[in-house]
């Protein structure tokens, strides 16, 4: 079985972990601090705070902006449920806005109609590594927290994702372009947001008999072990990007010849992070449904994934917020399929996936 998105771990990551264990630092220490400094340079932003997960980053960023009970946060339905879950965790309500058909990012033309007097923030998602259209969202004058879990390397109109909004949140999860296993980052140019996240991520400030708690914080700090892995991954980010770019090119060439299979749009004005290669499968033209293709590819020993089922159709959200109709997202949820991409894969691995996809397509369209 060709794994979907295995992490590319080498001797550098292993040596970094061993060195950290020998240093005596298991929890937050110098490596987590170094990661914050280096990521701030990489993201071209004033402040980066390292946290236990991308979910924690989103949660604390919203809390730092004062989002709470009675508020609303506008977001996309095509995302991992954590994006909506953190809104619920603050006590606020998610307001889902439909997505654009081309790239499945939130449709900025629909956002103004969703704004009410209770709107406290907008939480857009950069799906698969394609930046969403931020300028019209920023023009509304409402605080913006970007879900950039897929977008560590992205630029929007030549401006680095991470430096543009009130807060931008990244993930260091095992499948991400900078993979530590777990972990997250909040990037911001606002000192007040950075200070608030700093207080919220730990249970206390200070040491000994002088410690204090300025807020009821969370245990959401990043360990030095994970920080060390992330630093080793950051050293390889350009090398890994080159491998993924070759993999995207191989897929682009293949799917251009397959009726009914189309990749998500990539805007040439932006820098795509090349995190996920997502195609949409039109059952009428491709001869079978997305689920049929996923099962057939598994029979060919090719692992795939789905990014994503619309959040508002999942049980918790369907029951708590009934009656939502988002037709573009709902159709996409039936069509999207993500193909294997990872710097751990060789070009020949991707050629194997392409060969299997061609064979499955030929079978279904015969």
Mind telling me the catalytic residues?
A: 176
Are 152 and 126 in contact, with CB atoms under 8 Å apart? no
Residue 48 near residue 95, CB atoms below 8 Å: no
Does residue 308 have a cis peptide bond before it, meaning omega lies within 30 degrees of 0? yes
As a whole number of angstroms, the distance between CA 188 and CA 186 comes to 7
Residue 291 vs residues 147, 220, 311: alpha-carbon distances, Å: 27, 37, 18
For tokens 């990539």, the residue is 266
Angle at 248 between CA 247 and CA 251, to 5 degrees: 90
Within 8 A by CB and 6+ apart from 201, the residues are 49, 51, 52, 56, 60, 217, 218, 220, 221
The contacts of residue 27 (CB under 8 Å, 6+ apart) are 221, 223, 224
Q: Give dist(CA 363, CA 296) in Å, integer.
A: 10
Write the burial class of residue 366 (CB in 10 Å: 0-12 exposed, 13-18 middle, 19+ buried). exposed
């Amino acid at each position: 079985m060709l794994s979907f998105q295995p992490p590319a771990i080498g001797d550098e990551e292993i040596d970094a972990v061993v060195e950290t264990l020998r240093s005596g630092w298991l929890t937050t220490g110098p490596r987590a601090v170094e990661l914050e400094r280096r990521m701030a340079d990489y993201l071209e932003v004033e402040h980066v705070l390292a946290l236990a997960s991308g979910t924690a980053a989103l949660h604390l960023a919203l809390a730092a902006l004062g989002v709470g009970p009675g508020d609303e946060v506008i977001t996309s339905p095509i995302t991992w449920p954590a994006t909506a879950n953190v809104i619920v965790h603050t006590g606020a309500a998610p307001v889902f806005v439909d997505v654009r058909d081309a790239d499945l990012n939130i449709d900025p033309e629909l956002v103004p109609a969703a704004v009410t007097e209770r709107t406290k923030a907008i939480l857009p998602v950069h799906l698969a590594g394609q930046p969403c259209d931020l300028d019209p969202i920023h023009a509304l004058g409402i605080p913006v927290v970007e879900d950039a879990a897929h977008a560590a390397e992205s630029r929007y109109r030549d401006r680095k994702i991470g430096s543009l909004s009130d807060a931008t949140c990244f993930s260091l999860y095992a499948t991400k372009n900078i993979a530590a296993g777990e972990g997250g980052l909040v990037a911001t140019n606002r000192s007040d947001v950075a200070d608030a996240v700093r207080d919220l991520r730990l249970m206390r400030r200070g040491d000994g008999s002088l410690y204090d708690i300025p807020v009821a914080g969370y245990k959401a700090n990043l360990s030095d072990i994970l920080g060390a892995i992330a630093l080793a991954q950051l050293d390889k980010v350009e090398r890994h990007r080159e491998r993924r770019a070759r993999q995207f090119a191989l897929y682009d060439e293949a799917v251009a010849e397959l009726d009914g299979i189309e990749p998500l749009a990539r805007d040439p004005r932006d820098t795509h992070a090349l995190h996920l290669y997502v195609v949409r499968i039109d059952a009428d033209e491709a001869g079978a449904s997305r689920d049929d293709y996923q099962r057939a590819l598994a029979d060919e020993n090719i692992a795939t994934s789905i990014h994503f089922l619309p959040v508002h159709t999942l049980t918790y959200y369907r029951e708590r917020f009934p009656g939502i109709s988002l037709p573009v997202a709902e159709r996409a949820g039936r069509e999207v399929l993500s193909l294997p991409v990872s710097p751990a894969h060789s070009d020949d691995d991707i050629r194997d996936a392409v060969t299997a996809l061609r064979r499955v397509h030929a079978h279904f369209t015969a």
